[in-house]
Amino acid sequence: MNMPRNRFAVASAFLTLAAGFIFMAGYAANAPMPPAVVGVVDLEKVYNNLDSREDLMKKVETMQAEMAEEASTMQDELEMLSAELESLAPGSAAMVEMNDKAISISGRLRAFETYGALLIERERAADLRDSYDTIREEAGTLAKIMGIDLVLLNDSIPMVDLADAAGTLQQISARRVLWANETLDITDQLIERLNGQGG
């Protein structure tokens, strides 16, 4: 006699739980999702205010000064040879030898200047890449601390340079942020963390 009642009670409880789960699942599916919190960063300002880039700027300036000095030495040597060439008899063996020497120094000077420019450009490119990686990582850490879901580069800050119509349109079309609320700008906080003042 008790068996059918127990089965009925268990079945009723099961049906009640199933109905509850279905109701909660439907409520969760229809409940509005909270909006994503978005932060923006002025990347150019961050780059320009990074303390770590000062060392690289000094390193590049030192490289440029050393290369300019070496190029100047070769240029002086070339000018001396040119002056000596004017005093030699045209077609003489000494003139041919001196002319060959001048051509060799001139070729070395051009190659040195080209190599120097490439070396400095490579240093700058490596710095930009390394700085970008550091900024990206620190922006992620700051975003987690501040409860931000997405950090965008605010490219709406710089003015559009007036060019011809096609050039101006190209600048505008390349932008991705049309407007951003200043309260979401985390540029200054990011700079502080990167420079070791806020981390």
Task: Give residue 111's pLDDT.
Answer: 87
**What is the distance between the alpha carbons of residues 194 and 142, in angstroms, rounded to a whole number?**
10
pLDDT along the chain (199 residues), means of 10: 59 68 61 81 91 83 88 86 78 80 86 88 88 93 94 83 81 81 88 82
The structure tokens listed for 86 are: 């004017």
Task: Give residue 57's pLDDT.
Answer: 81
b/e map 58-80, b = 16+ CB within 10 Å: eebeeeeeebeeebeebeeebee
* One-letter amino acid for residue 52 of the chain: S
Task: Give residue 1's pLDDT.
Answer: 47
Q: Rg of the chain over CA atoms, in angstroms?
A: 35
Quick check: 131 and 45 in contact, CB under 8 A? no
Task: Give residue 13's pLDDT.
Answer: 66
Look up the pTM and report it. Answer: 0.64
Q: Is 89 helix (H, G, I), strand (E, B) or coil?
A: coil
Name the residue ranges covered by the structural domains of the chain: 1-31, 32-194
Task: Give residue 93's pLDDT.
Answer: 80
Task: Give residue 186's pLDDT.
Answer: 92
Give Cα separations from 86 to 43, 77, 79, 90, 119 (angstroms). 57, 15, 11, 9, 36
